[in-house]
Structure 1
Amino acid sequence: MNIDSINKRHFLKYNVQYRLEYDLSTKLVKYENCIMFISIHIGTNWKKTPYKTALDIARNWREVHPELKNAVGAKVYIVESQNTIEENTSELKIKYKKGILFDYWHKN
């Protein structure tokens, strides 16, 4: 599975719109043992709770990419930034780490 190819496709189809409208971007970090590892960067325009964000984004990744259809769960890292453009990445802090297990019957 080519993670870079999946990320590029996701960026072109989905990330651009979410970046502009909601100040949110996502990236698949790795896929291992049917678990997706996703990084989410959110800005001040995003209003959903961390759990709802993790669940929605993980489900979206699994549903729109055929390579990820067998994922049984996701480990989601949420990074909040105060400004949309960060010059100093040391100011970014991972505030939330969420784990999502998908319902088995929902998968089939």
Structure 2
Amino acid sequence: MLMKRMLLFAVLAGIAAGTAGCKQQDAPKLDRQAVRLYVGDQVRITVDRPVAWSAADDFYAAVDADGTVTARHVGTTTVTATADSGSAACTVEVQPRYDTFEEPLYELFG
């Protein structure tokens, strides 16, 4: 009986020692939550740990392995940094460099 208790104590001590060093990590932290770019511009998003980058829609903006976002077409997409501990996202809004739309002219009386 004493041997069983000692064995149980040893197993429990081993489990406690093995899990004492485990710390649940938080999701990655990006240096920005949103960014506005013009078509053709680039910006690098930095993060506090190694991550895998992805863009929700590469048509509007693409992201490379270093976190450099390249604006391609006018619109909005989301760039996501994914690590083992979670993910973080940055909204990317791509604006046109020039607006060639002419405002309509309305005459009130005439």
The TM tier, using the shorter chain, reads under 0.3
Using structure 2 for the length normalisation, give the TM-score: 0.27
Specify which structure has the higher proportion of helix. Answer: 1
Using structure 1 for the length normalisation, give the TM-score: 0.28
